[in-house]
Structure 1
Amino acid sequence: MKIVVVQTSLAGGGAEYVGRTWMAQLALRGHEVHGVLTGKPVNLGLLPPGVTGHTLHHHRGNAVKSRALRDLLREVRPDAVVSLQSISNLIAFGALAMLRSSRPKHAVSERNLVTLGLAGSSLQHRAKTALTKRLYSRADLVLAISHPVAAELVAAFGVHQDRLAVLPNPVSDRRHAGIANGPRSNDQQLNLVLTCRLVQQKQPLLAVETARRLKTRGVDTKLTCFGDGPLREQLIDAASAAGVTLDMKGWVDDWTSEVPATESVLLLPSQREGLGNVLVEAGASGVPVVAPSTALGVADAIVPGVTGELALSAHPDDLVEAVLAAHTIESAPPAGWIANFSAAVCGERLERLLERMVGPID
């Protein structure tokens, strides 16, 4: 197959990693793959081998980018277009609408729980969401990152189940060298790990309050943060006021290699998550994880009692109870569960879905 993958960039978030992993896997399987970037063409060195790169950054405005993508599709004549994230999805819809003949099949990928993020959002974001709600149901295939995201696509976006598939994210295949079945360290010592962008959706200040309440219960707790964002200074100030030791690591690509698995629990206190890649990365590395059940998508990324615990809610007391329970987990994660998120397995599943969508090729 000839496949065009449309995404914002090659780096900067989970969707970017997923897109370039999909491109790499499809190219390894012998398909002709073109990667189209709608945002700034940074980190072009991350373009996978065998993938032809294109950029639309020099075109101003999404309508102009759609016309430029239309021209590229006329030139390449792909069998399938795969787009990730709402803006790239809309640009792809615009380009395909302008093709009068030889229109390729279109698969869109939704990465988040959209409706939970509408409260207090900008008019521009609401308009973008309204447009995606009109268009997603017209796609030939819609790829959901998790089962809660799939349910939202059916209930709120009108996507028919016959055109819907749940395709979990490929997660880094790296493993923590210290993964083990051995006992946890002294349960009076705990390294609470926060790995995320420091934005309101992730609710990072809840990690500070959780650490404070653990300390009041006699658990010697420190907080280690891998990440950055607009709430960085608030996080630092909150930790200082609460008397919580905070180690700010910044962005670290292979963050699991810097975490002592037998002392740590990863806490992702998000308001909502499409999946939560770091939950899988930590679980596969032997670091138990905690996230509130109310974040919804995290349920696809945690095996309760095995890789971590789902807190009853995002209330600090519920997070504390879940952290304490997770800290007692001693078993290594099942190999079959880890393989479910491997690049090779996810790539094979994507290929199968696209071949079914495209049908026989002359």
Structure 2
Amino acid sequence: MTDARTLPGEIDAPASAPSPLSIVFVVLSLHGGGAEFVARAWMEWLAARGHRVTVVTTSGKDTDRYLPEGVAAHSLGAARGHLAKARAVRDLFATTDADVVVSLQAHANLILLTAALLAGRRAPRVVISERNLVSLGLAHADLAHRAKIWVAKRLYRRADHVIAISHPVAGELVAGFGVRGDRLTVVPNPATAKVAGRAPVPRVPGLDAGVQIVLPCRLVTQKRPTLAIATAAELCRRGIPTEVVSFGGGPLLDAMTVAARDAGVAFTDRGWVEDWFEHFGPNAVVLLPSSREGFGNVLVEAAAVGVPSVAVSGALGVADAIVPGITGELALTDEPADLADAVTRASELTVAGIDAWLTRFSLDASGRDLERVLNLVMAKGADR
């Protein structure tokens, strides 16, 4: 591994596009999670290429300070209800002279698809992007979420093109949502955009100094953060000193604190930290114990600074974000013993020689893949 990693396309601005487009993005907001970060990165890259980029935020949340340079913004915060927001998006088709509109996540996807139905033949090309594995989360979902997915399964197939965050998500879109294979593309996330040029962590592989389990996620049910405490307790029982450091905060913090106290595990909550990867100890291993993940940006971010990761194989989307035996390990099950085994194996890894793999997740590579999809959609003209 080089002393200071510079990934292709992360530093220099991209050259101008041969045929600039008017591209509109529809997103919930400009800040708050992985999808918002990806949207901002894509918008900034496309604007630097010379495309005319506009973003429409569907919530009333004030995130304008995160607006990328060269991007125009519209807020639908004043519009109440799904249909009102869809009508507002439909009206923006004309005022922005949009060639193609891109949305991210189910909420924005459904607003865009409804707007396209209202516009009929006057609608621009519509590209939606699904970021989550939906089926694994339906068993415990409330009625409103189930209704939203029922509608999505009938509308997603109407998009001119669908972008999946990972191959497991793509498989679900075909099998569960009826999306045609020739209208579906996996575009890798620009997951290294935050860490480009950063020096690797001075890690010491092995267990001689114990393990620092780093938990880089919101403390919510889907992420199953208390499994990190259970895993640390299992490692401690094996005679391996283990602590858990959490980045993200969330509603399960009290439960984490109680679980750590009851298990006798050292636990530190750092809250939300944007550059969480700057705070690794020399014995760090990242653990993402989620029940499902569309992808897992944090797994790539950790690898980019030389820190191995562990995730549960049944979370599915993480398989695109970890190279087992190279950048981390996939635990066979979510049992603490299996997670502890995976953390032990991962601790021995020296994460090196992965520059070619990381390039797949560079901003330039992701931006060019997205631009290629948009140009193909414009060129072939969808049969709606």
Settle same-fold status: TM greater than 0.5: yes
Gap runs ≥5 in structure 2: 1-20
Structure 1 equivalent of residue 62 of structure 2 = 42
Structure 1 equivalent of residue 235 of structure 2 = 214
Structure 2 equivalent of residue 306 of structure 1 = 326
**Is contact 1:286–1:333 with CA below 8 Å preserved after alignment?**
no
**Is contact 2:86–2:111 with CA below 8 Å preserved after alignment?**
yes
For residue 41 of structure 1, report the CA deviation from its aligned partner: 3.7
Structure 1 equivalent of residue 364 of structure 2 = 344
For residue 83 of structure 1, report the CA deviation from its aligned partner: 0.5
Whole-Å Cα distance in 2 between the matches of residues 76 and 331 of structure 1? Answer: 46
Any idea what SS the aligned residue of 1:124 has?
A: helix
Query: 1:288-345, CA deviations, whole angstroms, 9 ceiling, x for partnerless residues?
Result: 0000100000000001111100111111111011000000001425111111111111
Q: Does 1:235 align with 2:268?
A: no
Q: Does 1:177 align with 2:199?
A: yes
Whole-Å Cα distance in 1 between the matches of residues 244 and 27 of structure 2? Answer: 34
Aligned-pair Cα RMSD in Å: 1.4
Supply the AA of the counterpart residue of 1:130. Answer: W
TM-score (normalised: structure 2): 0.91
For residue 183 of structure 1, report the CA deviation from its aligned partner: 4.4
Any idea what SS the aligned residue of 2:172 has?
A: helix
For residue 268 of structure 1, report the CA deviation from its aligned partner: 0.4
Structure 2 equivalent of residue 33 of structure 1 = 53
- Alpha-carbon spacing, 1:52–1:105, altered in 2? closer, same or farther (3 Å): same
Query: 1:182-210, CA deviations, whole angstroms, 9 ceiling, x for partnerless residues?
Result: 74265341101101011110000100000
Structure 1 equivalent of residue 284 of structure 2 = 264
Greater Cα offset, 30-39 or 337-346: 337-346
Supply the AA of the counterpart residue of 1:128. Answer: K
Any idea what SS the aligned residue of 1:98 has?
A: helix
Supply the AA of the counterpart residue of 2:253. Answer: R
Among 92, 103, 113, the alignment partner of 2:112 is 92
Q: Does 1:319 align with 2:339?
A: yes
Supply the AA of the counterpart residue of 2:247. Answer: F
Query: 1:229-269, CA deviations, whole angstroms, 9 ceiling, x for partnerless residues?
Result: 11110001000100000011000000011112x31000000
**Is contact 1:173–1:342 with CA below 8 Å preserved after alignment?**
no
Whole-Å Cα distance in 2 between the matches of residues 16 and 333 of structure 1? Answer: 30
Structure 1 equivalent of residue 182 of structure 2 = 162
Structure 2 equivalent of residue 252 of structure 1 = 273
Among 147, 158, 164, the alignment partner of 1:144 is 164
- Alpha-carbon spacing, 1:279–1:55, altered in 2? closer, same or farther (3 Å): same
**Is contact 1:77–1:102 with CA below 8 Å preserved after alignment?**
no
**Is contact 2:207–2:348 with CA below 8 Å preserved after alignment?**
no
Whole-Å Cα distance in 2 between the matches of residues 21 and 44 of structure 1? Answer: 15
Any idea what SS the aligned residue of 1:99 has?
A: helix
**Is contact 1:195–1:226 with CA below 8 Å preserved after alignment?**
yes
TM-score (normalised: structure 1): 0.96
Whole-Å Cα distance in 2 between the matches of residues 98 and 331 of structure 1? Answer: 51
Query: 1:123-179, CA deviations, whole angstroms, 9 ceiling, x for partnerless residues?
Result: 110000000000111111100000000000010001110000011211134155344
Deviating above 6 A after TM superposition, structure 1's stretches of 4 or more consecutive aligned residues are none
- Alpha-carbon spacing, 1:153–1:142, altered in 2? closer, same or farther (3 Å): same
Structure 1 equivalent of residue 18 of structure 2 = none
- Alpha-carbon spacing, 1:177–1:346, altered in 2? closer, same or farther (3 Å): same
Whole-Å Cα distance in 2 between the matches of residues 240 and 331 of structure 1? Answer: 33
Structure 2 equivalent of residue 14 of structure 1 = 34
Gap runs ≥5 in structure 1: none
Structure 2 equivalent of residue 64 of structure 1 = 84
**Is contact 2:329–2:342 with CA below 8 Å preserved after alignment?**
yes
**Is contact 2:307–2:351 with CA below 8 Å preserved after alignment?**
no
Structure 2 equivalent of residue 294 of structure 1 = 314
Whole-Å Cα distance in 2 between the matches of residues 178 and 354 of structure 1? Answer: 35
Query: 1:92-126, CA deviations, whole angstroms, 9 ceiling, x for partnerless residues?
Result: 11111111443211100001000111012111100
Any idea what SS the aligned residue of 1:83 has?
A: strand
Q: Does 1:81 align with 2:104?
A: no
Supply the AA of the counterpart residue of 2:239. Answer: G
- Alpha-carbon spacing, 1:183–1:208, altered in 2? closer, same or farther (3 Å): closer
Number of residue equivalences: 359
Any idea what SS the aligned residue of 1:280 has?
A: helix
Q: Does 1:223 align with 2:244?
A: yes
Structure 1 equivalent of residue 4 of structure 2 = none
**Is contact 1:208–1:242 with CA below 8 Å preserved after alignment?**
yes
Whole-Å Cα distance in 2 between the matches of residues 121 and 265 of structure 1? Answer: 31
Supply the AA of the counterpart residue of 1:237. Answer: V
Among 186, 205, 221, the alignment partner of 1:200 is 221
Q: How does 1:118-129 map to 2 (within 5 A)?
A: 118-129=138-149
